[in-house]
């Protein structure tokens, strides 16, 4: 099939997707690991958060919506596709509730320091625009 047969597509300019900086690798890895423990059983899975967790915890390749500036540096920057920011924020809001429930249980599954960090980081993500 020849694209020139569809003039409305040939005239359109293609724009590269925009990305939003959301933090550094070490911050995201803690958040992703907390999500991996709590997310599957306690949340309606958020695409933005599950993609991020999959990318960081399992090393899945999702360069079209997650960019990491330096794969070998814990302080590398992590950017996510701007079109996933709302979904990531929704997932973080759900995760914050799941963390609070976990920490109030008699046998929490998440260490307190990791829970505190993930909750604070979810709050930061929810304030991005």
Cα 115 from Cα 119, distance rounded (Å): 6
pLDDT of residue 90: 84
pLDDT of residue 18: 87
Q: What is the DSSP string of 78-125?
A: EEEEGGGHHHHHHHHHHHHHHHHHHHHSSS-SS-HHHHHHHHHHHHHH
Which stretches of the chain score pLDDT less than 70?
1-17, 39-48, 51-64
SS3 22: strand
pTM of the model: 0.70
CA distances to 1, 15, 16, 19, 86 from 53, in Å: 38, 27, 24, 17, 16
């Amino acid at each position: 099939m020849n694209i020139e047969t569809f003039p409305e597509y040939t005239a359109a300019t293609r724009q590269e997707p925009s990305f939003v900086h959301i933090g550094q690798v070490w911050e995201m890895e803690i958040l992703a690991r907390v999500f991996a423990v709590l997310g599957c059983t306690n949340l309606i899975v958020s695409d933005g958060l599950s993609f991020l967790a999959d990318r960081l915890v399992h090393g899945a390749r999702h360069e079209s919506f997650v960019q990491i500036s330096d794969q070998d540096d814990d302080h590398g920057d992590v950017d996510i596709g701007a079109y996933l920011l709302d979904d990531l924020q929704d997932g973080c809001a759900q995760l914050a509730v799941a963390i609070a429930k976990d920490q109030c249980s008699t046998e929490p599954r998440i260490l307190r320091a990791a829970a505190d960090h993930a909750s604070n980081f979810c709050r930061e993500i929810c304030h991005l625009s």
